[in-house]
Each structure stands twice: as C-alpha cells, then as structure tokens.
Amino acid sequence: MTTYEEFIQQNEDRDGIRFTWNVWPSSRLEAARLVVPLGCLYQPLKERPDLPPIQYDPVLCTRNACRAILNPLCQVDYRAKLWVCNFCFQRNPFPPQYAGITEQHQPAELIPMFSTLEYTITRAQCLPPIFLLVVDTCVDEEELGALKDSLQMSLSLLPPNALIGLITFGKMVQVHELGSEGCSKSYVFRGTKDLTSKQIQDMLGIGKFASPQQAPQQQGPPQARGPGGQPLPPANRFLQPVHKCDMSLTDLLGELQRDPWPVAQGKRPLRSTGVALSIAVGLLECAYPNTGARVMLFVGGPCSQGPGQVVNDDLRQPIRSHHDIHKDNAKYMKKAIKHYEALANRAAANGHAVDIYSCALDQTGLLEMKQCCNATGGHMVMGDSFNSSLFKQTFQRVFARDQKGEFKMAFNGTLEVKASRELKISGAIGPCVSLGTKGPSVSDTEIGLGGSCQWKFCTFNPNTSVALFFEVVNQHAAPIPQGGRGCVQFITQYQHSSGQRRVRVTTVARNWADATANLHHISAGFDQEAAAVLMARTVVFRAETDDGPDVLRWVDRMLIRLCQKFGEYNKDDPNSFRLAENFSLYPQFMYHLRRSQFLQVFNNSPDETSFYRHMLMREDLTQSLIMIQPILYSYSFNGPPEPVLLDTSSIQPDRILLMDTFFQILIFHGETIAQWRQLRYQEMPEYENFRQLLQAPVDDAQEILQTRFPMPRYIDTEQGGSQARFLLSKVNPSQTHNSMYAYGTEGGAPVLTDDVSLQVFMEHLKKLAVSSTA
C-alpha cells in the first residue's frame, strides 16, 4: 500500500480535503485524548478541470432528516434498483431515469473516482453576478486617478451581462444612477446618519416593490426587460448590465472628483465608510436578496464620521493601536465593530459578499471592518496606494478566469456537511457564517462557528478552504466495530459565475480504530500539516476574542500534550525524546506560529493583524503553511537554488535568499553579492553568470507574484538594508547579539532579538514533555 503521505496527497488532489487524522478513534474519550481535534481542511471549490459535467439533479436520500446524496460509497442493489444511504442506511429506490443502470453501466456518482462530483441544476434561474463598487473619494488626486483607472479597466474584465453599480463616498455618500443620459444622477446621503435598510430603500425609491421573496423572481435577467414591458426592477437604475452602461459608467468614473468638502489644517477628511457600506448592503438587500453579489469597497483612509467611525477627524488623535486596544483606549472601536458586524451579517444573510480594498499608508479601520470580509468571504486587500502594482495587480486578479474562461469565483454558496452517526459536527472556521441549521449531526460542543451543519459562503474561490471540526460521539463503552468506516459528505450549493446553480458533492470515508489498542494506527494517520493549519485557525479564532498570553499558553499546552501523547521518551529524560516522522515538523510549525504576526501583535497595527488573520482563515493548506512558516530559498554559484532552513545560519554573504511569507516576497542579497551588485558587475559582459544569479530569484519571485492573491509585497533588499528586517524577523534567531560572541559570526547574520530560538524552544519542549509533573 502506498504511504499515508501519498494517500493524503491523493485525497487532497481528488477531494480537496485534508484530515488531521486519517484513522479515526472509535470513541469520544479517545478522540479527546488525541489533543489535536478530529477535523479537516476542505476546499469546496477546488479546481477539478477533469470533472465531468453533470447536467442533472443529484439523487437524494428520501429520509427527510438525511437527504444525503447518492455517492460511490453507497451500497447499490442493481437488480432491485435500490441504493442504501451510507449515512442513515435508508434503502432508496432509484428514480425512474436510473432504470437502465447496471454494474457495468454506472452513473458517474457511483464511480469511486468521482467521490467529488459537481451537478449543474439546469432548471434554476441564471443570474448574472452583481458588482457594486463603493469608492472612497477622500483621497488625493493621484490616488483617485489610479483608482479610477483600475475601475475603468475592470469594466472590461466583467462579463457583459454582469450587473454593476457605483456608490461613491466622502463626506456624503452618493449612489449613482447608471444609464441616465444627458445628466448624471446620483442619490446622496448624509455620511453621519445611520439609516435603516427601509429608510435607505425609501430614499432610493426602491423600497416600495416586492417583499424580499418576490424580488428575486422579479429581477429576472434584467436585460430581458425592455421599455414597455414589465416595470423594471426598482433598483434597475442603480445596477445595470455592464454592456448597457459601459460607456456612461466609464464617463462617470472619468468625471469622478475628489470629495470637494474642505479639509482644514490638522484634520482628516470626513469619510463616511460606515454609511456607504450600509447603503450598499441595503441596496443589494432590497434589490437582489439571496443572489450572488459583491460589494467592492475601496477605501483610502479611516472612516471618520458617522456610524462605523474608527477615528475622529482630528489628526492630533492617531488611530487606535494594539496598545490602545489593550488599554481599552479605543473609544470608537467597539461601536464600529458592532456596526460592521451587523452589516456583515445582513450581507451574509442575503448571500452578498463584501470586499475591502484598503490602500493607505495609515490604517483604515480593517480591524473594525474585518467581519465584513470574514463573514462573507469577501476579499480583504491591504496596500499602501491605489497607484501601486500591489493593488492594481491584485484587483485585476479578482477577476481571474479559469481555463474555461469563467471567473474563479462562486457566489452565494452553502456548504452542508453530513456525517455518519458516530460523528457530530462541532463547527467550522473559515470565511463563512453559520446558518444555524440544527440537525441530528450537530454537536453541542462548538469549535469556531458551530451549532449548525450548514454554512454560508457568500463568495469563495478555488483556494478557499474551511476548517471543519468533528466530534466522535461513541462512548468508550460501546466502541465501533473494527473495520467500520465513518463517512462525511460535503454538499456545496452555489451560484457559478456563469449564473448557473451548481451543487458539488464530496463524500469521504475513513476507518475507525480503537486508540487504546491500536494507537499506532491512528498516529500513523496523523497529518501534521493539516493539524498545524487547523490548530493555527483554532488559535487565531480564539485570539480574536481572547487575550494574547492566554492563547499562547494554550498553544504551548496543546503542543506539550501532543508530544507527551505521541512522543517516545523516557520519563524525565529530555534527551530520550523522539517524535515519529509524521509528527516531527509539528513543533516547528507551532514555534513559528507562536512567533508569527498572527499571534504576535508587536510591530503590527491592528489593521495588519486583521488582514493577516483574514488570509490565514481562508487560504488552502499549502498557502497557510507558508504563512505559518515562510519558505526560504537560497541562490548561489554553488548550485541550483535550494530551500534552506529559516534560520539565521542561512544568511550568508555570497548567497541570495528568496523568502516567501505569503504576504511578502523578499529577495535578500548577501553582503558580498550586494557589494558586487553595487559595483555593477552584472552589467559587465564577463560577469554574465552574476547577472543570471541576480536574475534567478527575481524570476522565481515573479512567478509567485503572478499567481498569488492578494499580490504579495515585493521587497528587494540586501544585508544591512532597512527592509532586511522582514527577513530577520522571520528567521529562527539561532544567532543573536547574545549568542554571536559565543559562536562567532561566520555562520550567518545575528539577529537583534530576545526571542528564543527554535533550539531553545525545542529543548524546553522536550523537557516539559518528558516531565512527569507536567
């Protein structure tokens, strides 16, 4: 048999799923003793170009409480044309159209290789995606110009039938009517007044129509309506198909002016982000409830008035820092968070996503607004300037398309999880909201967003992953018979970017094992990478609510307990401590996690913290691992590029390092290389090889830059350069100003830090793990 590594890889490729444990403990108690919870990281939309297009509806288990979907794991009686649900064991007849199936002639959903399958629901309506641009005009001319360019460019990236709308805001909020000729129209709202959804609708003149239930039907494909036909949907004026308003919107954007209200010396511009977002949400809520849509919010500074205000307009008062928050000195924060959370929940309830593109040198209030993105799956992008390639490229990449030319984004998705009786679902951590759907398989114990077996993903893309946590319900006294398998089925319904309604089903099964007797079976099935990511998500999720030290302590305790459980050692003998290979990297991940920006707020603004955590919560396993433990490559004349330890020792004068922290791509030139470069050897023909050496990491970096979303910050620095700090803050400080004199300096560059190095960390870990008193 193949190794677990291969098995895991295969599973990930096929189903986009990674379990922390690939053999499941058969009782609740044993599960609890595993320290790392039973869970998985699932990519609902993992790219599967090889999937066959299934144009019919899935077959459901007829038991009302179950409604699981026919899958390859089901037992099928071909003669009786019956299938047995593998979750509730209900015997279900096949529907009439399956009359012709035989063992040789199986439908795709019964073929084992299609444990993940995607159905296209053809009878559902096709709805074009909706994009509502919410643009901050309180930025300087250059910024605004760049932003306008990007927005105008984006029009060409949108499908012609996509609906688009525009809201601009500064001191006031303007909702622009599109497609009006001769006179551009907009509806203006005061930026200081919190309006209810109904008020907004009334003021926009769209509230009189249709209750939310009727509205979706009314909308129809708007382009299908014509003058003289039925009344156009009320919001039609604000959301128009791109092909209709392309020109006028381009002009509108072209004429967009900076917010004209004067900003006094020493003041911030008055920016009404909170109200603007509220209006955007209100508009969509009324016009297109339960339809895929994204609000794209572009902010160039903090909201400084009205609801959602994060700072006042007096420049003497800086925006809150972690320190302020810690001291409970951030007077606007809680109120603002409440405001944005409420908006996020409203948006999520209607399947609308909120993207935030924040470009400013200072913070813009992402901390307060984060829930808008986190709950709805919207993007959060943090940059310095709209005029930077970081923003431009990133924004462009939002509209990336797959090989079929379709957007790599899905809308208004719902993930439902079904599990065997032995399992219950504790919760999910990811860019989603719990739908609060109770069911027999919902656990009372919550981890992350629990209390439900369904979660809403207002928008998600192939990279999006969600961590799901399970609970084994079997009591120790009544273990599951050996050889049995537990099943989990993930049903993701979503609106494809083409407008189609699709359902993707993934069904997986794992063996049960009795941990008391066969712990080695279970430990062998440990996926340390998945575990690291899941633990990271759990920790970060806790960190959002808990205080820093507690969280760190929890991380440490969990690590120690895991080592105690699965390490091989003699009591009280640290040197005897050994970990199995599939556990060996886990402590290192935890070490870097502890040092990471996810848990350490020092030197980070609250906004940055929010942004980093946001990304960790949604990216797939590989990317998440990069975030936790950056990758370091070394380039030298000595050979091809090689990955090296994230350690000070890797910093050598004759090397070029390429570090990928996910958020940054950093090229670091060793001291010697830097000198050479400064002397411009690379321009001399005889040093062509040097030029190539310099170019190699740049090319590699470009490759990464081209694919990653959001685009990382690209840093080119050298030994002693100011930006080298990014590297130095990440590497394991095996050499510090404390230790350098002891070891000499030839091995690398010392780092000025009091942090413990990985070696020290490990030593302490061993000590604690083997301690009988711990």
Partner 1 sequence: MNSQYMPQQPPQYGASPGSGFGPSQGGYAPQGPNKPAPNQSGFQQPPQMTGLQRGGPPPGLVRGNLPPSGSNISHSVPNGPSHGSPNVQGPHMQGMPIQSALANPGFGPANYHSPGGSPMGHPGSPSQPPPSGPPPMQPHPGSGPGAPPSPSPNQMTAQMAGMNIGGPPRVPTSNSGLPNVPNKAGMTPPASSPPNNYPGAINGGPPPAQGPPAERLPGKQYVNGSMGPPPISGGGPMPPHMAPHGGPPHGMGPSPHFGGPPQPGGMPSLSQGGMPPPPGGMMPPQNNLPPHPGGMPPPRGGMPPQGGMPPQGGMPPQGGMPPQGGMPPQGGMPPQGGMPPQGAMPPPGGMPSHGSMPPPPGTMGGMPPHGGPLQGNMPPPGRMPYPQPGVPPPVDTYQGSMSGPPSGPYGSQQNMGSAQVQGHNYSQPPQSHPSMQSQQARRLDPDQMPSPIQVMQDDQRNRSGIFYTNQKGQVPPLVTTNFVTQDQGNAGPHYIRSTMYNIPATIDMMKQTAVPFGLVLSPLARTADEEYPPPIVDMGELGPVRCIRCKAYMCPFMQFIDGGRRFHCLFCKATTEVPAEYFQHLDHTGQRVDRFERPELTFGTYEFVATKDYCRNNTFPKPPALIFLIDVSYNNIKSGMVHLLCKEMKEILKLLPNDAGAKQSVMRVGFITYNNTVHFYNIKGCLAQPQMMVVGDVQDMFMPLLEGFLCDPSESEAVIDSLMEQIPAMFADTRETETVLAPAIQAGLEALKASECAGKLLVFHSSLPIAEAPGKLKNRDERKLLATEKEKTVLAPQVNTYNNLGQDCVGAGCSVDLFVFNNSYIDIATIGQVCRLTGGEIFKYTYFQADLDGDRLIADIKNNISRPIAFDSIMRVRTSTGVRATDFYGHFFMSNTTDMELASIDCDKAVAVEIKHDDKLTEEDGVYVQVALLYTSCGGQRRLRVLNLSFKTCSQMADLYRSCDLDSIVNFFSKQVVFRLLESSPKQVKDSLVNRCAQMLACYRKNCASPSSAGQLILPECMKLLPLYVNCILKSDAVSGGSDMTIDDRSFVMQAVSIMDLPSSVVYFYPRLIPLHDIDVDSSDIPAPIRCTADKIRDEGVYLLENGVHMFLWIGLNVGMDWVQNVFGVHSAAQIDIDRTALPELDNPLSQRITSLVSTVRQQRHRSMRLTLVRQRDKLEMVFKHFLVEDRGFDGSASYVDFLCHMHKEIRNLLS
Contact range with partner 1 by CB under 8 A, out of 203-211, 283-291, 385-393, 401-409: 203-211
Among 184, 317, 445, 738, binds partner 1 (CB under 8 A): 184
Q: Is 185 in the site for partner 1 (CB under 8 A)?
A: yes
Phi, psi of 30 (to 5 degrees): -65, -40
Whichever of 186 and 729 has its CB closer to partner 1, that residue is: 186
Side-chain half-sphere CA neighbours of 519 within 13 A: 10
Q: Is 188 in the site for partner 1 (CB under 8 A)?
A: yes
**x/- letters, 126..165, toward partner 1 (CB under 8 A):** ----------------------------------------
Contact range with partner 1 by CB under 8 A, out of 191-199, 209-217, 326-334, 457-465: 191-199
Among 26, 27, 71, 174, binds partner 1 (CB under 8 A): 174
Tokens of 218: 């009314």
Instruction: Report 17-56 residues binding partner 1 (CB under 8 A).
Output: none
Instruction: Report 249-268 residues binding partner 1 (CB under 8 A).
Output: 251, 255, 260-262
Shortest Å, Cβ 263 to partner 1: 12
Whichever of 260 and 405 has its CB closer to partner 1, that residue is: 260
Task: Label residue 424 exposed, middle or buried (CB < 10 Å: 0-12, 13-18, 19+).
Answer: buried
Whichever of 203 and 626 has its CB closer to partner 1, that residue is: 203
Whichever of 180 and 393 has its CB closer to partner 1, that residue is: 180
Whichever of 199 and 600 has its CB closer to partner 1, that residue is: 199
Shortest Å, Cβ 167 to partner 1: 13
- Using the 8-state DSSP alphabet, how is residue 539 labeled? H
Give the whole-angstrom CA distance, residue 439 versus residue 650: 53
Among 57, 194, 202, 446, binds partner 1 (CB under 8 A): 202
Among 52, 93, 205, 440, binds partner 1 (CB under 8 A): 205
Shortest Å, Cβ 592 to partner 1: 51
Q: Is 270 in the site for partner 1 (CB under 8 A)?
A: no
Whichever of 261 and 637 has its CB closer to partner 1, that residue is: 261
Contact range with partner 1 by CB under 8 A, out of 104-112, 181-189, 468-476, 512-520: 181-189
Among 182, 266, 405, 549, binds partner 1 (CB under 8 A): 182
Among 83, 187, 332, 761, binds partner 1 (CB under 8 A): 187
Of residues 533, 536, 530, 492, the one with CA closest to residue 510? 530
Of residues 628, 626, 567, the one with CA closest to residue 765? 567
Give the whole-angstrom CA distance, residue 466 versus residue 530: 12
Q: Is 727 in the site for partner 1 (CB under 8 A)?
A: no
Whichever of 175 and 409 has its CB closer to partner 1, that residue is: 175
Contact range with partner 1 by CB under 8 A, out of 176-184, 306-314, 485-493, 594-602: 176-184
Task: Label residue 64 exposed, middle or buried (CB < 10 Å: 0-12, 13-18, 19+).
Answer: exposed
Q: Is 278 in the site for partner 1 (CB under 8 A)?
A: no
Q: What is the DSSP string of 726-750?
A: HHHTTSB-SSBTTTHHHH-STTS--
Give the whole-angstrom CA distance, residue 391 versus residue 147: 9
C-beta separation of 54 from 47 below 8 A: no
Helix or strand (DSSP H, E) at 322: helix 322-326
626's CB contacts (< 8 A; 6+ apart) are: 660, 661, 662
Q: Is 183 in the site for partner 1 (CB under 8 A)?
A: yes
Whichever of 177 and 660 has its CB closer to partner 1, that residue is: 177
Contact range with partner 1 by CB under 8 A, out of 10-18, 183-191, 214-222, 677-685: 183-191
Q: Is 204 in the site for partner 1 (CB under 8 A)?
A: yes
Contact range with partner 1 by CB under 8 A, out of 40-48, 136-144, 198-206, 460-468: 198-206
Whichever of 29 and 263 has its CB closer to partner 1, that residue is: 263
Of residues 21, 40, 20, 29, the one with CA closest to residue 520? 21
Task: Using alpha carbons, list the distances in angstroms from residue 16 to 3, 419, 508, 718.
Answer: 18, 17, 11, 39
Task: Using alpha carbons, list the distances in angstroms from residue 538 to 545, 554, 715, 739, 759.
Answer: 11, 11, 31, 34, 25
Tokens of 517: 């007797």
Biggest CA–CA distance in the chain, Å, is 87
Q: Which residues pair with 505 in a beta bridge?
A: 117, 491
Give the whole-angstrom CA distance, residue 619 versus residue 622: 8
Whichever of 193 and 561 has its CB closer to partner 1, that residue is: 193
Side-chain half-sphere CA neighbours of 613 within 13 A: 28
702's CB contacts (< 8 A; 6+ apart) are: none
Q: Is 448 left (phi over 0), alpha (psi -120 to 50) or beta?
A: left
Among 14, 33, 81, 190, binds partner 1 (CB under 8 A): 190
Give the whole-angstrom CA distance, residue 225 versus residue 556: 61
Give the whole-angstrom CA distance, residue 637 versus residue 640: 8
Residue type, 353: A
Whichever of 313 and 527 has its CB closer to partner 1, that residue is: 313
Whichever of 188 and 752 has its CB closer to partner 1, that residue is: 188
Shortest Å, Cβ 336 to partner 1: 22
Whichever of 209 and 554 has its CB closer to partner 1, that residue is: 209
Whichever of 7 and 209 has its CB closer to partner 1, that residue is: 209
Q: Is 679 in the site for partner 1 (CB under 8 A)?
A: no
Q: Is 106 in the site for partner 1 (CB under 8 A)?
A: no
Q: Which residues pair with 485 in a beta bridge?
A: 511
Among 172, 369, 398, 522, binds partner 1 (CB under 8 A): 172
- C-beta atoms surrounding 520 within 10 Å: 13
Shortest Å, Cβ 486 to partner 1: 56
Among 42, 119, 189, 589, binds partner 1 (CB under 8 A): 189
Three state DSSP letters for 16-50: CEEECECEEECCHHHHHHCCCCCEEEECCCCCCCC
Q: If binding means CB under 8 A, how many residues of this protein chain bind partner 1?
A: 24
Residues lying near partner 1 in the complex (CB under 8 A) are found at 172, 174, 180, 182-190, 193, 195, 199, 202-205, 251, 255, 260-262
